[in-house]
């Protein structure tokens, strides 16, 4: 028989019974831009716009036949202004989420989702402007059409690979696989523009050869820093989105306005840098025999 005391004892809460265990999922962690990043985007937008105005002024009074570098260089900064405007106003980015783990020594690793802001406007900008920068260098060195076309295509593949890598799953080959494809494409660009260009430019004399050598070296140093920033920021997520914005801002300003000023001022000072694209560039097709008033050529 069970005594009433025993019943009371049985109904008492035991030491092991506690609150019902709950599983609290770790909320996703967001890596996105803040005020510092937005301000930087606005400043670069303004500088790109100013450079576009300055490059247009430089082409004033230059006959159409000698305006090739002006046109290409101005287009580069105009496209960059549009891309920076989109980013500064909060457009043209999306979040890429991936699985991550918090590592602990004495307790099991805690899984969580990490979402990072990726600005796709950059890739649209680079896909349009890097081929134009390549055209500037190829025209300056007198690189033939075949090598120029190969360089442009390799360059577009490089930029698209970077975009696929940024949007790829970082736990699979999508992320670093595409990055590797982008790096190989970049080597092709360097081969066609820098290596082949250095041979071709010799035919244009010492002045152009020196200018091309310095511009190509400057470009090589800056362009090579892009995949390094990408690897640390979008690749390994070891750099904040604001720092990434600032790093790309410095690189973009060097690669576009500074490169453009250097090229256009040197071009103005030396007639050997002129490029003859034939009649189509200045007069269009089928214009033979037309009398042109006020055209220097
Ligand atoms: C990516 C990632 C994939 C591998 C490589 C890259 C290189 C990018 C470069 C960008 C240059 C941009 C310029 C912009 C001017 O405003 C796409 C980052 C190699 C070289 C010059």
Span 40-84, pLDDT tens digits: 999 999 999 999 999 999 998 888 888 999 999 999 999 999 999
17 phi and psi, to 5 degrees? -75, 125
Confirm whether 290 is domain-assigned: no
Residue-level pLDDT at 12: 60
N residues, the chain? 297
- The enclosing domain of 84 has a CATH number of 1.20.1070.10
Contacts 24+ apart (CB under 8 A), 39-46: 40/242, 40/245, 40/246, 40/249, 41/84, 41/87, 41/88, 41/245, 41/249, 42/84, 42/88, 43/249, 44/80, 44/84, 44/249, 44/252, 44/253, 45/81, 45/84, 45/85, 45/88
Whether the predicted pLDDT of 289 surpasses 80: no
Tell me the average pLDDT of the chain: 89
**In terms of pLDDT, which residue wins out, 113 or 215?**
215
Please indicate, yes or no, if residue 225 is contained in any of the structural domains: yes
> Which mutation among 73, 160, 230 tests ligand 1's pocket best, with the greatest number of atoms within 8 A of CB?
230
In a domain, 280, yes or no: no
Inside any domain, residue 284:
no
In order, the DSSP letters of 201-244 are: GGGG-HHHHHHHHHHHHHHHHHHHHHHHHHIIIIIT--S-HHHH
Does residue 229 lie in a domain region?
A: yes
Provide the pLDDT confidence category of residue 242 given band limits of 50, 70 and 90. very high
Is residue 287 domain-resident?
A: no
Q: How confident is the model at residue 277 (pLDDT cuts 50, 70, 90)?
A: confident
CA distance 22 to 210: 71
Stretch 166-194: mean pLDDT: 94
Residue 101 lies in a domain: yes
User: Which mutation among 51, 124, 126 tests ligand 1's pocket best, with the greatest number of atoms within 8 A of CB?
Assistant: 126
Pocket flag, ligand 1, residue 227 (CB < 6 Å): yes
Residue 295, pLDDT > 70, answer no
142 CB within 6 A, ligand 1? no
Containing structural domain, residue 192: 29-270
State how many domains the chain has.
Answer: 1
Query: What torsion, rounded to 10 degrees, do the Cα atoms 236, 239, 242, 244 define?
Result: -70
Q: Classify residue 46: in a domain, yes or no.
A: yes
Cα–Cα dist 154/177, whole Å: 16
pLDDT digits (tens, 9 = 90+) for 122-148: 999 999 999 999 999 999 999 999 999
């Amino acid at each position: 028989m069970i005594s009433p005391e025993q019943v009371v004892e049985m109904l008492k809460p035991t030491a092991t019974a506690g609150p019902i265990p709950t599983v609290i999922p770790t909320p996703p962690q967001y890596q996105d831009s803040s005020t510092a990043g937005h301000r930087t985007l606005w400043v670069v937008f303004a500088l790109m716009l100013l450079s576009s105005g300055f490059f247009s002024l430089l082409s004033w009074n230059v006959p159409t036949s000698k305006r090739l570098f002006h046109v290409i260089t101005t287009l580069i900064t105009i496209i960059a202004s549009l891309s920076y405007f989109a980013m500064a106003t909060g457009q043209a980015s999306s979040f890429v989420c991936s699985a991550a783990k918090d590592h602990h020594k004495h307790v099991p690793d805690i899984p969580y989702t990490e979402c990072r802001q990726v600005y796709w406007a950059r890739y649209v900008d680079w896909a349009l402007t890097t081929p134009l920068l390549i055209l500037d260098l190829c025209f300056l060195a007198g690189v033939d059409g075949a090598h120029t076309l190969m360089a442009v295509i390799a360059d577009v593949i490089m930029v698209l690979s970077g975009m696929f890598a940024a949007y790829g799953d970082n736990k699979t080959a999508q992320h670093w696989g595409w990055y590797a494809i982008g790096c190989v494409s970049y080597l092709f660009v360097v081969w066609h523009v820098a290596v082949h260009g250095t041979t071709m430019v010799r035919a244009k004399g010492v002045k152009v050869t020196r200018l091309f050598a310095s511009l190509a070296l400057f470009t090589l140093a800056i362009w090579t820093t892009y995949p390094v920033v990408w690897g640390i920021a979008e690749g390994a997520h070891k750099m904040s989105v604001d720092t990434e914005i600032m790093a790309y801002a410095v690189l973009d300003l060097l690669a576009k306005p500074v490169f453009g000023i250097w090229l256009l001022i040197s071009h103005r000072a030396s007639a050997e840098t002129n490029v003859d694209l034939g009649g189509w560039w200045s007069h269009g097709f089928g214009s033979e025999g037309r009398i042109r008033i006020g055209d220097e050529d």
